[in-house]
Amino acid sequence: MTEKQCQKEYDEWVKAMIEWVEASDACREFVSTKPISPHEDLQPLSPEDTERFIHAYDRKDIAHKKFLEANKAYFECKQKYS
Q: Which amino acid is at 8?
A: K
Q: What pTM does this model have?
A: 0.78
Residue 77 included in any domain: yes
Closest CA to 60 of 21, 11, 12, 15: 21
Residue 41 included in any domain: no
Residues 24-39 pLDDT 10s: 988 887 766 666 666 6
Cα 73 versus chain centre, distance: 17
Residue 18 included in any domain: yes
Residue 58 included in any domain: yes
Residue 64 included in any domain: yes
Residues 63-74 pLDDT 10s: 999 999 999 999
Q: Which domain holds residue 17?
A: 3-32+47-81
Domain count, the chain: 1
Residue 39 included in any domain: no
Residue 37 included in any domain: no
